[in-house]
A and B are shown apart, each in its own frame.
Chain A
Amino acid sequence: MFQSKKDVKLGFYGPPNAGKTSLANRICKDFTGEEIGSVSKVPHETRNVQFKEKVEIEFKGKKMTFKMIDTPGIATKIDYEEFLKFKVKKKEAKNRAKEATQGVVESIKWLDDMDMVVIVLDATENPYNQVNITIIGNLVARKIPVLIVANKVDLKKADMKKIESAFPEYEVIGISAKYGENLEEFYESIFKLSKQI
């Protein structure tokens, strides 16, 4: 009779190095004291889907329990030579590339299972990247609620207006996962979005 609702599956999607894990870590740390995964300047640091169960977010007197799902960045190309620029050894770079390709496939497979999705974009990059459009197009087709987050607004090159003009039908929340800027607005939007499930 009083069966509790299932935890809301909240996915973090986006291109590599946009800050998906940084944001997921920030949230998990705030509400559970633990992080979800490691972060790095080297792209494709997250190469497996990572989970954190029972993350109870409390905001302005409201509570919701989420299953956080941090996904590997989706890309259309992966070249191990890119990793060499970050002083990764050749063998390790090749292995990283192989795992990264598998990670993209895994991310795509998980799209169907999400209750709601946060698209994390790098505010310093061009938002008109086909991967962003393709992911959002898929979520719209599956009727999965989407929130767009423009991360790295602490950087000078960040261009919020460009991201907002690319997605005028969406609320775009500018944050800095690294410094924890503007997370209040993010939590507010997450609660608002959850009503669409």
Chain B
Amino acid sequence: MVKKKKKLKKINGFAIQFLPYSEIKDLNSDERIKKVLGIILGNNILILQGRMRPQEETRLIGDTMAMIDHVKSFKGIELAVISGDGEGESIWDKMKKGLVDALAGGDMGAITIIGPATIVKEMKRDPRKIELMLNK
């Protein structure tokens, strides 16, 4: 009896990429956003040391929207930022600290997680943790 060969199902994989802040520190806003979107479009979940400026985060959202129309099967991103030393801090405390840090060149204690919506279904965030729910 001939054994039937099992066929492996295709795995639509993804990678997790860590980006130290030093990689974006000297880039201008355009270059930062381009770099971040490049990583996301490569089906990677990006873990960025630090955080972008509030205006850059907004631009990232705007550019993401523009790309949904132009890149096939791209549905957008999931984005969350958490401050490393922010246990118990309110959003306001974090924003104030974030603004000061942004002016100084970035909040090194923060972590930004950005993933393509095709992979990351949801990022559940509370003041102390981020949970990533992935698409099946």
Contact = CB atoms under 8 A, between A and B. Distances in A.
A104 B62 contact: yes
A98 B70 CA distance: 10
Contacts of A138: 54-55, 57-58
Interface string B72-92: 000111111100000000111
A164 to B, nearest CB: 10
Interface stretch (B9-17, B23-31, B41-49, B124-132): B124-132
B64 A167 contact: no
A134 B75 contact: no
B61 A98 contact: no
A128 to B, nearest CB: 5
Contacts, number: 102
16 contacts: A77-B76, A97-B68, A101-B69, A104-B62, A104-B65, A108-B61, A128-B91, A128-B125, A134-B57, A134-B61, A137-B95, A137-B98, A138-B54, A138-B57, A141-B99, A165-B90
Contacts of B96: 140
Contact of B126 (A102, A111, A128, A140): A128
A104 B61 contact: yes
Interface in A54-111: 74-79, 97-98, 101-102, 104-105, 108-109, 111
Nearest to A107: B62
Interface of B: 53-55, 57-59, 61-62, 64-66, 68-69, 75-81, 90-92, 94-96, 98-99, 117, 123-127
Given A78-B65, A102-B65, A108 B91 contact: no
Given A76-B79, A102-B69, A170-B92, 6 more contacts: A76-B64, A77-B64, A77-B77, A98-B69, A101-B65, A137-B54
A127 B124 CA distance: 11
Contacts of A168: 90, 92
Nearest to A77: B76
A131 B58 CA distance: 9
Contacts of A140: 54, 95-96, 99
B62 A75 contact: no
B54 A76 contact: no
Nearest to A129: B125
A194 interface: no
Contacts of A98: 69
A131 B61 contact: yes
Contacts of B68: 77-78, 97, 101
Given A76-B79, A77-B77, A134 B54 contact: yes
A133 B94 CA distance: 10
Interface string A101-123: 11011001101000000000000
Interface string A32-58: 000000000000000000000000000
